[in-house]
Structure 1
Amino acid sequence: MKNILIVDDHLQITEVLKEYVLKEGFYPIVASDGQAALTAFFTHSIELILLDVMLPKIDGFGVCKKIRETSNVPIIMVTAKGEDYHRIMGLDIGADDYIVKPFSPSEVMARIRAILRRIERTEENQHTMKQLVYDNLIVYLEEKRVTISQHEILLTKRELELLWLLLANREKVFSRDNLLDSLWGIDYFGDARTVDTHIKRLRAKLDEADHPNWEIATVWGQGYKFEGKNEK
């Protein structure tokens, strides 16, 4: 049974989400503050984290940053209505998705199912191709890691999937809607700005090492593509 970590300091919210998680066949693990969330994460095998931003002791951003130091586990941030800067910050520090309060438990479960299905599809695809290579870039699908000139780049699962999709279809232009459908799924509730944020974050991480012969290029008015210098 897959463990879902629910992190929120409101007992009523966690009790409702626990019931829905159990009905879906998952096992809920609950933490009411940031420190307890980290303890639970490093104690149990966690498949996905539903993480509120406003938490006692350590806020959701601090929890997300700490987890991203060692893990690419999917994280859905929960933000207050109208606080876009929370959403953007969450995505910038490594969250895979976000949901806004107030929310319906059914919507939360739809998000969780979509992310876990996507992960399963990616793992199935890995059996047919172990790695992708271009110039000094290597994407190791089975190990879920990326190197540039042997320098390891730590990516989230979503960032790794985004890079893999672009690299596997080199020179093909993907619109924001294409990327949303391919990686987030047709039942995703967010908007195209999510793609822009993930592209920005992916580029920043790839830029940790020199790669003069390729880039994640913006095709104005169309979308994004993996572009090789010798293929322009």
Structure 2
Amino acid sequence: MRLLLVEDTLDVAEAVIIRLERSGIACDLARTVEEARGYLEAQPYDVIVLDINLPDGLGTDLLRDMRAKGDRTPVMMLTAQFSVDDRVSTLNLGADDYLVKPFDQRELEARVRALYRREQGDKGNEITLGTLTFNPTAKVLRKEGVPVTLTRREFSLLELLIRNRGSVMSKDRLYEGLFSFNDAEVGLNAIELYIGRLRKKLAGSKVHIETLRGLGYKLDVDA
């Protein structure tokens, strides 16, 4: 999952990013409305966490513009003050959720993941493929009932492939889902490394990752 955090209070932003990246979510940070627009023009996101009061304008204006353009990316609004009228107004503009500062980082992560699951259209907690059982909420993978140890990026990569199973995922798209702009020193070849690691851990599960040369990768399940 790749998330854009639009927040100008640095200590809040850093705490959010540390929490989310430890759980395998790639985060980019914009501290103004204009920076956020630049990120959105360059990169699609799975979820946006958007502060209302920003140095150069209101997050609600950015939200309004996104929805007017048909951008349906899930958006969670953040604010220090949120009256009932503010909540109704924000939801009417197209926000998917809101959280009032100060908030618990665990609640933020849980809500972000809920928005992501809802957007993906997969409501179930567990997905069974071959002899694998994958639980994105509990962050657990089992093969024939036995837990499989994955790093956070291996788990995120597997989640991307499972969510898009049967479809070809380009190396660029997988890279976008795993790494933030701050990881610019990590090259595209890192995807091949993580794919290789995953293949070893999925061996014998009837689930395999196919390489389509020049196109990308596809996760399939043997009949």
- TM-score normalised per structure 2: 0.52
Partner of 1:107: 107
Partner of 2:49: 50
Q: How does 1:24-39 map to 2 (within 5 A)?
A: 24-39=23-38
Cα distance change of structure 1 residues 41 and 123 upon mapping to structure 2, 3 Å threshold: farther
Structure 1 counterpart SS, 2:121: helix
Partner of 1:64: 63
Partner of 1:93: 93
Indicate if the aligned counterparts of 2:74 and 2:119 stay in contact, CA closer than 8 A.
no
- Give 1:108's aligned amino acid: L
Partner of 1:17: 16
Structure 2 counterpart SS, 1:36: helix
Indicate if the aligned counterparts of 1:81 and 1:102 stay in contact, CA closer than 8 A.
no
- Give 1:102's aligned amino acid: P
Indicate if the aligned counterparts of 1:79 and 1:86 stay in contact, CA closer than 8 A.
no
Distance 2:82 2:49 in 1: 19
Cα distance change of structure 1 residues 96 and 76 upon mapping to structure 2, 3 Å threshold: same
Indicate if the aligned counterparts of 2:4 and 2:28 stay in contact, CA closer than 8 A.
yes
Deviation at 1:25, TM superposition (A): 0.9
Partner of 1:120: 120
Indicate if the aligned counterparts of 2:117 and 2:123 stay in contact, CA closer than 8 A.
no
Structure 2 counterpart SS, 1:98: strand
- Alignment root-mean-square deviation, CA: 1.7
Indicate if the aligned counterparts of 2:51 and 2:77 stay in contact, CA closer than 8 A.
yes
Distance 1:51 1:3 in 2: 14
Partner of 1:80: 80
Indicate if the aligned counterparts of 1:7 and 1:50 stay in contact, CA closer than 8 A.
yes
Cα distance change of structure 1 residues 101 and 73 upon mapping to structure 2, 3 Å threshold: same
Distance 1:10 1:67 in 2: 23
Indicate if the aligned counterparts of 1:77 and 1:87 stay in contact, CA closer than 8 A.
no
Partner of 2:128: none
Partner of 1:211: none
Q: What residue ranges of structure 2 are gaps of 5+ in the alignment?
A: 125-223
With a CA cutoff of 8 Å and minimum separation of 6, indicate the structure with the bigger relative contact order.
Answer: 2
Indicate if the aligned counterparts of 2:32 and 2:55 stay in contact, CA closer than 8 A.
yes
Aligned length: 123
Q: How does 1:176-187 map to 2 (within 5 A)?
A: none
Q: What residue ranges of structure 1 are gaps of 5+ in the alignment?
A: 125-232
% of aligned pairs identical?
A: 30
Q: Deviations over 1:10-69 (max 9, x none)?
A: 000110111111012111000111111111111112111000111111211101011112
- Give 1:83's aligned amino acid: S
Partner of 1:150: none
Partner of 1:40: 39
Indicate if the aligned counterparts of 1:53 and 1:79 stay in contact, CA closer than 8 A.
yes
Indicate if the aligned counterparts of 1:79 and 1:87 stay in contact, CA closer than 8 A.
no
